[in-house]
Amino acid sequence: MTGAPRQAAPAGLHLCRLEAVGDGDCLEVRSDAEPAPSIVVMRSAGRAWAYVNVCPHFSLPLNSEPGRFLIAGDRLVMCAYHCAVFRFDDGLCIEGPAEGLRLDAVAVKIEDGDVVVA
């Protein structure tokens, strides 16, 4: 089947306040559409990125405890299950069993301090 990629979240959806995400940290955002996977918002300084919270290795969440992520360095997050390391900037896995694979990106923008789906 061909067509546009599946949109993980509708445009305009408010994910969180930017200030709710610690600088250099991640925040898990759950949608109302359970059991849809959560979205992980990553922040560095004034920038934010968001991804579907599903590791491309075994399709598990990046975190093993609700809302707690393993920060592996500057703008790097490690999957809690088998230690794949992903970049905030583009979701690319640069180390570990998912090396070369990417998290599913959710395009976001910052509007008046809110992180919203673009």
Tell whether residue 64 is a contact of ligand FES (CB under 6 A): no
Tell whether residue 76 is a contact of ligand FES (CB under 6 A): no
In the complex, minimum distance from the CB of residue 32 to ligand FES, in angstroms, rounded to a whole number: 25
Selected binder of ligand FES within 71, 97, 101, 114 (CB under 6 A): 97
Only one of the segments 1-9, 10-18, 53-61, 110-118 lies at the binding site for ligand FES (rule: CB under 6 A); that segment is: 53-61
Is residue 97 within 8 Å of residue 57, measured between CB atoms?
Answer: yes
Rounded to whole angstroms, what are the CA distances from 95 to 3, 6, 25, 33?
31, 27, 19, 32
Selected binder of ligand FES within 14, 17, 47, 82 (CB under 6 A): 82
Question: C-alpha dihedral over 37, 89, 78, 114, to 10 degrees?
Answer: -50
Q: Rounded CA gap, 29 and 17, in Å? A: 11
Which residues would be at the binding site for ligand FES (CB under 6 A)?
55, 57-58, 60, 79, 81-82, 84, 96-98
